[in-house]
Amino acid sequence: MRTDLHGNVQIALAVILGVLVSASLVTRLLGWLKPDMALDEIRSRVRSWWIIAGLFGMALVLERGWALFFFAWVSYLALKEYLSLIPTRRADRRVLLWAYMAIPLQYLWIGMEWYGMFVVFVPVFLFLAIPARMVLIGDTKGFLRAAGTLHWGAMITIFSIGHLAYLLVLPSTVNPNGAGPGLVLFLVVLTQLNDVSQFMWGKAVGRARVMPTVSPNKTWGGLLGGMATTVALALACYRALTPLALHEAVAAGVMISVFGFVGDVVISAVKRDLGVKDCGALLPGHGGILDRLDSLTFTAPLFFHFVFYLYA
């Protein structure tokens, strides 16, 4: 357990717990009052909020080393899921192992707070190491596709998700209001809330589709309603959890809303490309981690560099 958790972060965690309990109660109540209402989608969303909130809450209260281990494990599960979903070449088994080995190294840089290494390791060194290792194997058929898909996965699952961990270890000189945990909480809550409110606004007022070929459920009504909700929540809690000024909080809210949406549809597009989405029922177990983290893979690096540029 970490002992330096800021009071504001503790209050925010308590509020989240309260919201989740009421969400569960409301769905339970709706199930009794209107038994014919279709609640499955809402129920599964509430369940996945509990899981996300539980896991991230745990990561925030854990001691730094354990928290980093937690995020590294998330990267590992996400990369494993990605590599199990994409076509890979048998010849590249050892190259895949290199990608796995990049995870502990990347989190080591984060633990050392070695920013320069953190920010070039996957985009530069791993980018070069993958084709270098592959060329030693010597199989040229499908070379570019294999190198490209592997590095893309490493960027999404190691580099992007790693930003959550680096956000967590930012010192209180960057953020006097709750340090790293405050920023992580702000980002994760806003990203998740944005997903939910886009879904709800889409059900309520959604008409025109934003991108029918990728994600037919996404509507302009949902996108704009979600953005308004997210900006409102950003304004409600930026003072408590972040060092941001008012106009910066608005910008962060818009950014998280727009790019949360983009991350969501990008992962949808990838799954459609792989033919996973067209199966009707998604393979259970596959589509766990990446589905949960889709928006965060975009919002985490963007929000991190937004804060880092302004305050670090």
- Bridge partners, residue 219, by sequence: 209
Residue 60: CB minimum distance to another protein, A: 23
- Looking at beta carbons only, is 40 or 278 nearer to another protein? 278
- Quote the longest CA-to-CA distance of the chain: 65
The Cα–Cα gap between 163 and 70 comes to 13
- Looking at beta carbons only, is 103 or 190 nearer to another protein? 103
Contact segment (CB under 8 A) with another protein among 172-180, 218-226, 256-264, 272-280 equals 272-280
- Looking at beta carbons only, is 56 or 82 nearer to another protein? 82
From residue 68 to residue 107, what is the string marking binding to another protein with x (rule CB under 8 A)? ---------x--xx-xxxxxxxx--xx-xx--x-------
Residue 96: CB minimum distance to another protein, A: 5
Residue 272 interacting with another protein (CB under 8 A): no
Residue 279 interacting with another protein (CB under 8 A): yes
Q: How many CB atoms lie within 10 A of CB 87?
A: 9
Dihedral angle sign, alpha carbons of residues 154, 282, 219, 47: negative
Residue 77: CB minimum distance to another protein, A: 8
Q: Are 230 and 193 in contact (CB under 8 A)?
A: yes
For another protein, the binding residues in 238-267 under the rule CB under 8 A are none
- Looking at beta carbons only, is 79 or 241 nearer to another protein? 79
The Cα–Cα gap between 258 and 14 comes to 27
Amino acid at 124: V
- Angle in degrees, 0-180, between the axes of helices 179-205 and 220-241, rounded to the nearest 10: 160
Residue 206: CB minimum distance to another protein, A: 30
Residue 148: CB minimum distance to another protein, A: 15
From residue 197 to residue 236, what is the string marking binding to another protein with x (rule CB under 8 A)? ----------------------------------------
- Looking at beta carbons only, is 73 or 125 nearer to another protein? 73
Residue 212: CB minimum distance to another protein, A: 24
Residue 281 DSSP code: S
Query: Which tokens belong to 185?
Result: 């909480």
Closest by Cα among 113, 20, 89, 77 to 287? 77
The Cα–Cα gap between 261 and 253 comes to 12
Query: 256 burial class (0-12, 13-18, 19+ CB within 10 angstroms)?
Result: buried
The size of the interface with another protein (CB under 8 A), counted in residues, is 24
Q: Are 132 and 50 in contact (CB under 8 A)?
A: no
The Cα–Cα gap between 234 and 186 comes to 8
For another protein, the binding residues in 281-310 under the rule CB under 8 A are 283-286
Residue 276 interacting with another protein (CB under 8 A): yes
- Looking at beta carbons only, is 100 or 127 nearer to another protein? 100
Q: Are 229 and 201 in contact (CB under 8 A)?
A: yes
Question: Which residues of this protein are in contact with another protein, per CB under 8 A?
Answer: 77, 80-81, 83-90, 93-94, 96-97, 100, 274-276, 279, 283-286
